[in-house]
């Protein structure tokens, strides 16, 4: 760690990754105060998308914990930085949907205290290990997408363990981990995967005819994508960001324990969070029934009060 003195007790050093533009001063101040009171070193971890200077730089391998303050994109940036050194990431939600964050901004001090005394549980985050035709090795923790870069359809041939699944002509495809299935995948008509499921899913983007439903693959299966593009070309995106790698021949494998998130035993269940954020919603008829029953119950209570 550069320019940081390590404490000899408890958590010695924390690395920070923050949203580049969002107002994070309140939780950031809470982290700084907690660290100062306990003699814990703080440093800024180098990560994609982090452009806000916070202080001395920190090597992630020298940190006991990486704290991500922002939202899911910030947490993903922290995961990418922390995973090679096998360091846990604590995600702090600041006005975001927060599928990967463990605590809201106002509770970061208590969360750090719980982490320091070992009152936390580890949540393994899988990754898609991607090998490009050039030999480059890449990783995606939410999803990878092959999309049109301009006019002209893409032709994607998908094989599973060497067996042809489908040939799709259209806008491309997306491959998602369980953690990422609640984002681009379900927006494209794919399934929602339970977070602990050892599987990943291939979903075609809008296609020109044919039939190739979303395919859930076993964790031990290998997916091969052969991409032929029109004159507009193709673009490869990992976790929502374009990468400078040709989207042609891609081999995808599943890594179940690629990264580590900090979670707490009293944290809301994953499905509850999806409902709270409106990603999963009840049928309008059922919502209307609930409103009608609540109105009837309220009218009955009012009548009883008048009779007393």
Active-site positions read 72
Burial of 112 from C-beta contacts in 10 A (0-12 / 13-18 / 19+): buried
Burial class (CB in 10 A: 0-12, 13-18, 19+), 292: exposed
CA dist 98 and 279 (Å) reads 12
Nearest CA to 33 among 118, 114, 110, 115?
110
- 14 DSSP β-pair partners: 42, 65
124 burial (CB, 10 Å; 0-12 / 13-18 / 19+) is middle
Rounded to whole angstroms, the Cα distance separating 224 from 174 reads 13
Cβ atoms of 138 and 299 within 8 Å: the answer is no
């Amino acid at each position: 760690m550069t320019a940081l003195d390590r404490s000899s007790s408890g958590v010695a050093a924390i690395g920070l990754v923050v949203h580049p533009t969002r107002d994070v001063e309140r939780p950031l101040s809470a982290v700084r105060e907690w660290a100062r009171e306990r003699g814990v070193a703080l440093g800024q971890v180098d990560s994609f998308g982090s452009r806000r200077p916070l202080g001395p730089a920190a090597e992630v391998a020298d940190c006991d914990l990486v704290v991500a303050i922002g939202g899911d994109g910030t947490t993903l940036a922290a995961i990418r930085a922390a995973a090679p050194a096998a360091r846990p990431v604590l995600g702090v939600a600041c006005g975001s949907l927060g599928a990967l964050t463990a605590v809201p901004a106002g509770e970061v001090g208590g969360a750090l205290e719980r982490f320091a005394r070992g009152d936390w549980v580890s949540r393994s985050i899988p990754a898609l290990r991607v090998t490009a035709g050039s030999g480059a090795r890449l990783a995606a923790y939410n999803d990878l997408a092959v999309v049109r870069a301009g006019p002209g359809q893409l032709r994607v041939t998908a094989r599973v363990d060497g067996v042809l699944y489908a040939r799709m002509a259209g806008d491309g495809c997306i491959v998602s981990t369980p953690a990422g299935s609640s984002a681009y995948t379900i927006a494209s008509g794919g399934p929602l995967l339970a977070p602990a499921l050892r599987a990943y899913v291939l979903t075609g983007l809008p296609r020109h005819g044919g039939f190739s439903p979303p395919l859930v693959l076993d964790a031990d299966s290998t997916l091969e994508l052969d991409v032929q593009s029109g004159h507009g070309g193709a673009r490869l995106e990992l976790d929502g960001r374009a990468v400078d790698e040709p989207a042609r021949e891609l081999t995808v494998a599943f890594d179940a324990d690629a990264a580590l998130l900090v979670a707490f035993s009293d944290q809301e269940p994953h499905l509850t969070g999806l409902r709270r954020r409106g990603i999963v919603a009840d049928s309008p008829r059922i919502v209307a029934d609930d409103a009608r029953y609540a109105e009837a119950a309220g009218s009955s209570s009012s009548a009883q009060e008048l009779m007393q």
